[in-house]
Amino acid sequence: MKAVRIHEHGGVEVLRYEEIPEPQPGPLEVLVRVRACALNNLDLAVRRGIPGQKIPLPHILGSDVAGEVAALGEGTSRLTPGDKVLLAPGQSCRQCRECVAGRDNFCRHYKLLGYFLEGGNAEYIAVPEVYAIPVPGDLSFEEAAAVPLVFLTAWHMLVGRARIERGEEVLVIGASSGVGSAAVQIAKVHGCRVIATAGGEEKLARARQLGADQAIDHYRQNITDEVKRLTGKLGVDVVFEHVGEATWQHSTASLAHHGRLVTCGATTGGKGNIDIRHLFWKQLSFLGSFMGTLGELHDVLALIGRRELRAVVDKVYPLAEIRAAHERLEKKEQFGKIILAV
């Protein structure tokens, strides 16, 4: 089969489009013919090399996969060949205390496709049947691939961790990203007022189309000042953060009394200062979040299938043009998800 692998870490030049053996489904596994695979910032990080993380090489990237069931392993019972499926990006041991309690993203053995598991930048992938989920509604393969990682992450951040409530004000940092565009929609479907940041008028307009009530150009405007202006100096109830050092000061300063900041990433760096006096005086909460549960993914997909939440596809590239796709994501030119057609 055709696949893209990295044999070493580095720039886009390490992405090799090559022929490799087709995988075979083991017991309780299904073989999926990949039709679309979305890019994430995780792909860039793994390609470059993550300090302290040793990824077995050669390695196939790609966490967000949609396709058709091609073959069944022994003991499978739910799916049949030809079924249109998307794949849950995270896999757990399904046996530990956290897993049986439904908190599979807390599992000590939790792994992601394209990270420590071979991913979907290939024509075929074999996965446990439990992680192959029927595509809801009338989604195309490209739309289905745009959903799992970012919508699950954003849902767990806002619903599972920050526990947003109707009428609250939510600041979404970086609304043009995959996770940011998902967060705007999730906050709106829960009845929140959304303030979104993005770079440039075109991306601000797209954020408003997704449901943002107000939009801030984080390249030209001061986020903190604009949030104070838009909230009558009160600040927001929840800040959705995933950028890191570049926005951390503005994110913390934008919180109202009793506000919650929830974060899942640090693409611009991992250092962020907190004034402890500010923390206890305003009774703030700072929440870390990583992925989400398999049950939460099913909750998201129910809304996706009814088009109450919508996958945001930026641009589709053939798998053979993966280097151009990585370059577009690195330059932050996208709004929503960049997709590889396989």
N-term to C-term CA, the chain:
11
Q: Give a yes or no: residue 304 inside a domain.
A: no
Residues 194 and 273 occupy one common structural domain: yes
Mean pLDDT score, 66-84: 97
Cis peptide bond N-terminal to 58, omega within 30: yes
Please report the pLDDT score of residue 201 as a whole number: 94
Would you place residue 84 in the very low, low, confident or very high pLDDT band (cuts 50, 70, 90)?
very high
Q: Which residue has the tokens 């929503």?
A: 336
Beta strands at 255-263 and 236-241: parallel, antiparallel or unpaired: parallel
Residues 117 and 13 occupy one common structural domain: yes
Residues 11 and 143 occupy one common structural domain: yes
Would you place residue 106 in the very low, low, confident or very high pLDDT band (cuts 50, 70, 90)?
very high
* Per-residue DSSP letter, 289: -
Which pTM was predicted?
0.95
Q: Give a yes or no: residue 300 inside a domain.
A: no
Neighbours of 4 (CB within 10 A): 24
**Residues found in the chain:** 342
329 φ/ψ angles, rounded to the nearest 5 degrees? -65, -40
Would you place residue 236 in the very low, low, confident or very high pLDDT band (cuts 50, 70, 90)?
very high
Residues 115 and 16 occupy one common structural domain: yes
Mean pLDDT score, 94-116: 96
Mean pLDDT score, 72-90: 97
Q: Which of 134, 129, 149, 145 is nearest to 338 (CA)?
A: 145
Q: What is the rounded distance in angstroms from the CA atom of residue 262 to the CA atom of residue 285?
A: 8
Q: Give a yes or no: residue 331 inside a domain.
A: yes
Percent of the chain with pLDDT over 90: 99
Ranges of beta strands (E only) in the chain are: 2-6, 15-19, 29-38, 59-60, 64-72, 84-87, 90-91, 111-112, 124-128, 132-134, 169-172, 193-198, 214-217, 236-241, 255-263, 285-288, 313-318, 337-341
Would you place residue 235 in the very low, low, confident or very high pLDDT band (cuts 50, 70, 90)?
very high
Q: Which of 145, 185, 143 is nearest to 164 (CA)?
A: 185
Residues 211 and 117 occupy one common structural domain: no
Tokens describing residue 45: 């990080």
Which amino acid is it at 25?
P
Find the domain containing 28 and state its range. Answer: 2-147+311-341
Which amino acid is it at 222?
N
Q: How many domains is the chain built from? A: 2
Please report the pLDDT score of residue 304 as a whole number: 97
Please report the pLDDT score of residue 38 as a whole number: 98
Q: What is the pLDDT of residues 11-32, one digit of tens each?
A: 999 999 999 999 999 999 999 9
Please report the pLDDT score of residue 64 as a whole number: 98
Q: Give a yes or no: residue 295 inside a domain.
A: no
Q: Which of 149, 168, 142, 170 is nearest to 265 (CA)?
A: 149
Q: What is the pLDDT of residues 262-315, one digit of tens each?
A: 999 998 999 999 999 999 999 999 999 999 999 999 999 999 999 999 999 999
Residues 10 and 141 occupy one common structural domain: yes
Sheet containing strand 15-19, edge to edge, reads 15-19, 2-6, 59-60
Q: What is the pLDDT of residues 237-260, one digit of tens each?
A: 999 999 999 999 999 999 999 999
Residues 157 and 247 occupy one common structural domain: yes
Residues 284 and 172 occupy one common structural domain: yes
Cis peptide bond N-terminal to 27, omega within 30: no
Residues 196 and 157 occupy one common structural domain: yes
Q: What is the rounded distance in angstroms from the CA atom of residue 36 to the CA atom of residue 157?
A: 26
CATH number at residue 223: 3.90.180.10
Percent of the chain with pLDDT over 70: 100
Residues 93 and 227 occupy one common structural domain: no
Q: Give a yes or no: residue 93 inside a domain.
A: yes
Q: Give a yes or no: residue 306 inside a domain.
A: no
Q: Give a yes or no: residue 303 inside a domain.
A: no
Residues 173 and 91 occupy one common structural domain: no
Q: Give a yes or no: residue 231 inside a domain.
A: yes
- H helices of 173-222, in order, are 178-189, 201-210
Q: What is the pLDDT of residues 107-144, one digit of tens each?
A: 999 999 999 999 999 999 999 999 999 999 999 999 99
Residues 185 and 131 occupy one common structural domain: no
Neighbours of 209 (CB within 10 A): 11
Which of 68-72, 164-168, 247-251, 268-272 has the lowest average pLDDT?
268-272
37 φ/ψ angles, rounded to the nearest 5 degrees? -145, 125
Q: What is the rounded distance in angstroms from the CA atom of residue 255 to the CA atom of residue 237?
A: 6
Q: 337, 145 in Cβ contact below 8 A?
A: yes
